[in-house]
Structure 1
Amino acid sequence: MSEETGQTVAFIAIDRITVVNPRSRPKRSFEEMVDSIAAVGLKKPITVTRNRDHGAGYDLVCGQGRLEAFRLLGEKTIPAFVVDLDPQDSLIASLVENFARRQLRGIDLLHDIGAMKQRGHAEAEITRMTGLSSEYVKGIIHLIEKGEQRLLQSVEAGIVPVAIAVQIADADDIGVQEALQQAYERNELRGKRLLAAKRLVDRRAKYGNALVSHLTRKPKISSMSLVRAYQQDTERKRMLIRKAEATKARLLLITAAMREMLRDEALVEVMQQEGLATMPKVLSDRIFPGRM
């Protein structure tokens, strides 16, 4: 009997326990847990409840990491508290335990709030069970319902306060900039956090609310479209060649005319009197090639 909980600790066969709410965990922290259990043993039993559909089986309430560590160490049984919970209460207890331990990715914890809301729990009840503020819970639920994955990630990372994230989610482009400006003036976003928030807003405007943008598949290129593209490219090049040849012909005509004009001494004298005795070197070289 455990003096702390008043619950009986039983040794349960590991292969009889089902993880109903599986979670991934950082490899390094899991390896540290395995090493700790191997060195000093299990400090706290896991918690399970009887599976009502399979009388001989158990559903895991909390302690997935410890269970997986025992399995990895080759153990056949594990100490466990056996509690009497229906499937819904068991899942809620698992989610609340995740909040208390804070061992999971923050974004998973935020979505757990949404999962509790979907199961019919009121915001006040979620606040009580998780220990989070009512403003935080309400804001997270609002962001989840609007599909604001980018903003949720920024809240989880501590870049944008949840209240500002809600303002951004509900605002148009001008309102978003006003929200950032107000946050700056209230000293809620400064320095690197402000720059990160601006980058987030830009990416959200460009790629949408989701973290992964679903790009449209490019149409397949047929042989006919390739031939058509080649013909169009060839025609463009022919037009460029024709324009170049026409320009060259006009330039030759102009230089020839200028050359004849400059051979007229009377015209040259008039030009000198009018202060037009010089010309650009590029033009002079073309009219009188080879002259230094």
Structure 2
Amino acid sequence: MIGLATSREFPDLVGGEQLLYQELRRRGECRIVFWDDPQESWRECDQIIIRTTWDYFVRVIEFLQWIDKVEAAGIKLHNPPDIVRWNSDKLYMRDLSAKGVLIPETTWIARGKLTRDVLRKHVNCPCVLKPTVSGGAYSTFRVSPDNIDAVVEKLDGLAEEKGFMLQPFIPEIVSPGEYSLIFFREKFSHAVLKTPAEGDFRVQSKHGGVYTRAEVSPDIIEQARMILAAVPFDEELLYARVDGVVRDGKFILMELELIEPYLFLEFGDTAAAVLASRV
């Protein structure tokens, strides 16, 4: 049996993820399981595909303990446990950068080290500040020299719990937008362009972001594929979402989503069926 792992907030999955569930049900036994189920009903599965576990980053220790349990039970996990652990902290971007992947200039701030003085030292232009363990624009702020005090106050002690990353604001996020390139078994499937609401910089739909199907050039697809090739593990990825912007023909990686990315299956003609066939 195949299990699609979700969180309590999304008991029936959401949007295009439901298309995958329907395709897998047509092909055999499939059920939706809660990753934090006290009864651990997920143990009845032979394989588990991580899907809408969109609370993991606020419960990351528990989530990684669950990954350990799944692995110890001999259940095949998608994506593989070592990759999930690595991808759960955005420090993975530093690893990819060391392999030649183009990322925005980034200042890494260790847990407990984010202070007003640190921000005053590094923020000399509009920037974006976010925890290295996060998702969905959780505790993500635009910060500039004139609002440092306000941002530090909004963090409300979070700096003691999490590490942070600081990057210059990337104008391409606003226009033309951020691209998401979707791969199944490292083969390109489809792409989506995400644009934020007027006056915002966050591209998530809950913040007013808009998604449209996008056509991307073979060169951009190949650049995204090379990012996947830089992942420092030999295990194959069932799915991957490569998020980034294009500047002067170069793909700049914003995030590599290998745990529970929304895959925009509704934007690919047969994407759900193709993904189901590759499980």
TM range (shorter): under 0.3
Asked which structure has the greater RCO (Cα within 8 Å, sep 6+), the reply is 2
User: Of Structure 1 and Structure 2, which has the larger fraction of its residues in helix?
Assistant: 1
TM-score (norm 1): 0.25
Larger-gyration structure (1/2): 1
User: Of Structure 1 and Structure 2, which has the larger fraction of its residues in strand?
Assistant: 2
TM-score (norm 2): 0.26
